[in-house]
Structure 1
């Protein structure tokens, strides 16, 4: 009996392994032969190099982008669907309670509504590009219902049709990832309430050694003029060889910063903020009771961030042509954040990386120009403390008057758990992201403002010179990027376009 039972178990395990092997291979992209793709106006050639990167050649821009949507879905459909669900606050529908907090956050922010609002405001040609990309994705979904990537059958669901707004949602995810700073505002408020003004100023200086980079290490401190000094009052900043120490004692009143003049600002910043976040749920109440509900744990909170890019004029190169290097520091993931592609069609020949779920190329080059992007990271978010009316949570105080908040209900499907009904409120400043009875916090963020989501990549991809490139990116609203540029004529350039708030103080 024991032997026969073991045989049955082995047969079941073998059958399951065989099915998984077959299922995994059945959804691999077709790399050879002809594929009938609905919506194409003419044949399109797709060849893949040794690394699997698709090179797409089409007779029209629309066909090239449609094919891009199709082949991206071949390789990354589940990643694309996760990105779409992330923006829409629908991860819990397939992943359960573990993603519920994230879904609630994005429902409160209203990323899905912002993406829907953006589509009609995009220029007609760019909107057609988004529509063509969506047609390509949907052509793949429709023709592979029984051969979808293995994650879909394992989680037992089918992807919905792709929409233009879904591509905007993917871009919004990146904007949130690169420009979320309101957590830091809360941490600063926490520290301001506990530290002396001088110590707080040391932790958050208005200048850094990186404002005055040096080509080579220097022997002593770098001396620079304080930007607010009216005379020649210098401030000493650490040289590249200086050292610093940072202490994180157990209690606030004993916080010590050794050698404050030669403070390694960023390391101290990171350590101090981690310290401020320790047991934050109780201590944030010292600033305001409701802030405690918004504080996030210190795990993963790190200021050791930063990308780099540079461009060198041909006057300083052996070839006489410019050199451009671009290294955006984004977290590692499998699959990658980026998707490499080459697109060739009348009026377009570009190669580089795209965001899975978005058309064209974000960072790359065409026949005449090259460009790169790294995050600038301006402060484009502000928090507002709103007073809501006791007994009526839908009215808040503005200049002595109670006015109606914008209110709507959200329904979040949660796999293997009870669904969640969420009341979402927004004030004149923006969505309410935290509530505690009488008080609430509203977030004002440039990405959620009217007409804040432009689509400039078509003109960027087609630009042939510096003037055309500048004209294209003037409409870029964010997240702000350090854009470096080089062209075959030897020109180099830098531009950092975005919407950045102009504050009264």
Structure 2
């Protein structure tokens, strides 16, 4: 408790001003390029970079700046390591994720990524995350680290793969086909669609309904090589709570 309430390194150091301000210029160790990050009035970061690697590096840095603890905690959870942080209360969850093979699946995914021509871009993202971690002092750690009494680890390709497995587990683990089919038979199509719509009409999508598709469709790589899409996925670190970014290459 003493470390947590220490006015020089404890939770007092995590206080934020009512109006968030960022330095106009920052020299980041390990970053040799030049990039500009502009925050709008909703704190959406707009990243301007001259090439893909600089963009990925800065996206990793800024993502860690805002979401470091969440990034780590979720990869610990899906990797079967949550007990290391919160104790035996998470032991069964760790065992379940290991039984499902999620950590092993992440290791196999990294092996495939390493064969890709796009792997340097992922490595640049990782370098950006670690550049932010390495500049932190204990007083700068996010509040959750201080509450739980541990320090951030180095970010790796394996942690990135674990996060992808976490999203796959969330989006594809549930199996309700049989139950849904039975309900459809009982209720009929009209009632079923009313009770279980494909999307909730109360939700307001980012892209309004009726908007035409993008003019230059992305060319997708094979599933195990879709590393260029990872930086887009990784910024959505809060499941069911979207984050919005703007990235621009070539300026």
1:309-331 deviation per Cα after TM superposition (whole angstroms, max 9, x unaligned): 79866xxxxxxx7389xxxxxxx
Match of 1:106 in 2: 97
Check 1:322–1:102 CA distance in 2 against 1; reply closer, same or farther (3 A cut). same
| Aligned partner of residue 125 in structure 1, secondary structure | coil
- Structure with larger Rg: 1
2:12 matches 1:22 = yes
Q: What's the TM-score once normalised by structure 2's chain length? A: 0.71
Match of 2:131 in 1: 139
Match of 1:61 in 2: 52
CA shift, 1:150, in A, is 1.3
CA shift, 1:206, in A, is 7.0
CA shift, 1:73, in A, is 0.6
Match of 1:149 in 2: 142
> How many residues align structurally?
219
Larger RCO, structure (CA 8 Å, separation 6 or more): 2
CA shift, 1:116, in A, is 1.5
**CA distance in 2: counterparts of 1:107 and 1:149, whole angstroms:** 28
| Aligned partner of residue 57 in structure 1, secondary structure | strand
Query: What pairs up with 1:81-100 in 2 under 5 angstroms?
Result: 81-100=72-91
Match of 1:159 among 146, 149, 152: 152
1:144-165 deviation per Cα after TM superposition (whole angstroms, max 9, x unaligned): 1321111112211111111112
**Between Structure 1 and Structure 2, which shows a larger proportion of helix residues?**
2
**CA distance in 1: counterparts of 2:197 and 2:93, whole angstroms:** 23
2:244 matches 1:340 = yes
Query: What pairs up with 1:182-193 in 2 under 5 angstroms?
Result: none
Unaligned stretches of 5+ residues in structure 1: 1-11, 189-202, 210-234, 241-263, 268-303, 314-320, 325-332, 350-505
1:125-169 deviation per Cα after TM superposition (whole angstroms, max 9, x unaligned): 332221111101100000013211111122111111111121121
**CA distance in 1: counterparts of 2:194 and 2:95, whole angstroms:** 32
2:188 matches 1:237 = yes
Match of 2:162 in 1: 169
**CA distance in 2: counterparts of 1:32 and 1:115, whole angstroms:** 37
User: Are the counterparts in 2 of residues 58 and 345 from structure 1 also a CA contact under 8 Å?
Assistant: yes
CA shift, 1:29, in A, is 8.2
**CA distance in 2: counterparts of 1:339 and 1:102, whole angstroms:** 27
Check 1:128–1:338 CA distance in 2 against 1; reply closer, same or farther (3 A cut). farther
Match of 1:76 in 2: 67
| Aligned partner of residue 322 in structure 1, secondary structure | coil
1:375-432 deviation per Cα after TM superposition (whole angstroms, max 9, x unaligned): xxxxxxxxxxxxxxxxxxxxxxxxxxxxxxxxxxxxxxxxxxxxxxxxxxxxxxxxxx
**Between Structure 1 and Structure 2, which shows a larger proportion of strand residues?**
1
| Aligned partner of residue 99 in structure 1, secondary structure | helix
Q: What's the TM-score once normalised by structure 1's chain length? A: 0.38
User: Are the counterparts in 2 of residues 62 and 128 from structure 1 also a CA contact under 8 Å?
Assistant: yes
User: Are the counterparts in 1 of residues 5 and 12 from structure 2 also a CA contact under 8 Å?
Assistant: no
| Aligned partner of residue 205 in structure 1, secondary structure | helix
**CA distance in 2: counterparts of 1:116 and 1:334, whole angstroms:** 23
**CA distance in 2: counterparts of 1:74 and 1:38, whole angstroms:** 15
Match of 1:372 in 2: none
Match of 1:413 in 2: none
User: Are the counterparts in 2 of residues 312 and 323 from structure 1 also a CA contact under 8 Å?
Assistant: no
Query: What pairs up with 1:309-324 in 2 under 5 angstroms?
Result: 322=212
2:102 matches 1:126 = no
